[in-house]
Structure 1
Amino acid sequence: MRNDQGGSITAAMIAVMVAAVLQILTPLLPQLGIGEPIGARSDAVRTLITPAGWAFSIWGALYAGSLAFAIWQLLPAQRGNRLLQRVRWPAAGAFFGNAIWAAHTQVYGLSAISVAIIAWTLVCLLVIYRAGSDVRLSAGERWFVYLPLSALTAWLTVATTVNIAASLRFHGVEGGAAAALIGATIVVVAGLIAAAALVRGRGNLPYAAVFLWALAAIYAAGGQVAGLIAAACAVAALLVVGGAFVGARRVR
Structure 2
Amino acid sequence: MNASRTWRGSDLARQIVVLSALSFMLIAAVIGAGAFGNSAVQDQQGGALDTDGSYLAPAGPAFSIWSVIYLGLIAYGVWQALPGQRTAPRQRSLGWLIALTMTLNGLWLVAARFGTLLLTVLDIVLLLAALGWTFEVAVATRDARGGVADSVLIDGVTGLHLGWVTLATVANTAAFLTTVVPPSWEEAADAIGIAVLVVVAVIGLAIAWRSGWRITPALALAWGLSWLAVERFTGEPQSGPIGATALVVAAVVLLPPAIVRVLRLIRPTVD
Give yes or no for TM over 0.5: yes
Select the residue among 59, 66, 75 that pairs with 1:68.
Answer: 75
The corresponding residue for 2:267 is: none
Q: Is the partner of 2:5 in helix, strand or coil?
A: coil
Shift of 1:5: 7.2
Shift of 1:132: 1.6
Gaps of 5+ in 2: 265-269
Select the residue among 125, 128, 147 that pairs with 1:122.
Answer: 128
Tell me how far apart the structure 2 counterparts of residues 170 and 85 of structure 1 sit (CA, whole Å).
Answer: 42
1:37 equivalent to 2:40? Answer yes
**Contact 1:199/1:247 (CA < 8 Å) preserved in 2?**
no
Shift of 1:205: 1.8
Q: Is the partner of 1:178 in helix, strand or coil?
A: helix
Which deviations, in whole Å up to 9, do the C-alpha atoms of 1:21-78 show, x marking residues without a partner?
22122133343345x3102131286111100001111111111001111111111111
After the TM superposition, list the runs of 4 or more consecutive aligned residues in structure 1 that deviate by more than 4 angstroms: 5-9, 245-251
Aligned pairs, how many?
A: 249
**Contact 2:51/2:58 (CA < 8 Å) preserved in 1?**
no
Which deviations, in whole Å up to 9, do the C-alpha atoms of 1:79-101 show, x marking residues without a partner?
11111111112111111111111
The corresponding residue for 1:199 is: 209
**Contact 1:208/1:244 (CA < 8 Å) preserved in 2?**
yes
**Contact 1:5/1:78 (CA < 8 Å) preserved in 2?**
no
- 1:79 maps to amino acid: R
Shift of 1:11: 2.3
Question: For 1:129-168, what aligned pairs fall within 5 Å after superposition?
Answer: 129-134=135-140, 135-136=142-143, 137-139=145-147, 140-168=149-177
**Contact 2:97/2:134 (CA < 8 Å) preserved in 1?**
yes
Tell me how far apart the structure 2 counterparts of residues 222 and 26 of structure 1 sit (CA, whole Å).
Answer: 29
**Contact 1:101/1:117 (CA < 8 Å) preserved in 2?**
yes
| TM-score, length of structure 2 as denominator length | 0.83
Structure 1 pair 228/12, CA: closer, same or farther in 2 (3 Å)? same
- 1:106 maps to amino acid: R
Identify the structure with bigger relative contact order (alpha carbons < 8 Å, sequence gap 6+). Answer: 1
The corresponding residue for 1:113 is: 119
Tell me how far apart the structure 1 counterparts of residues 123 and 203 of structure 2 sit (CA, whole Å).
Answer: 19
Which deviations, in whole Å up to 9, do the C-alpha atoms of 1:143-182 show, x marking residues without a partner?
2211111111111111111111011123355431111221
1:77 equivalent to 2:84? Answer yes
Tell me how far apart the structure 2 counterparts of residues 181 and 240 of structure 1 sit (CA, whole Å).
Answer: 20
Q: Is the partner of 1:13 in helix, strand or coil?
A: helix
- 2:257 maps to amino acid: A
Tell me how far apart the structure 2 counterparts of residues 115 and 179 of structure 1 sit (CA, whole Å).
Answer: 20
My pick for the range that moved more, 113-122 or 8-17, is: 8-17
| TM-score, length of structure 1 as denominator length | 0.89
Tell me the percent identity. Answer: 24
**Contact 1:192/1:236 (CA < 8 Å) preserved in 2?**
no
Which structure is larger by alpha-carbon Rg, 1 or 2? 2
Shift of 1:237: 1.9
My pick for the range that moved more, 23-32 or 195-204, is: 23-32
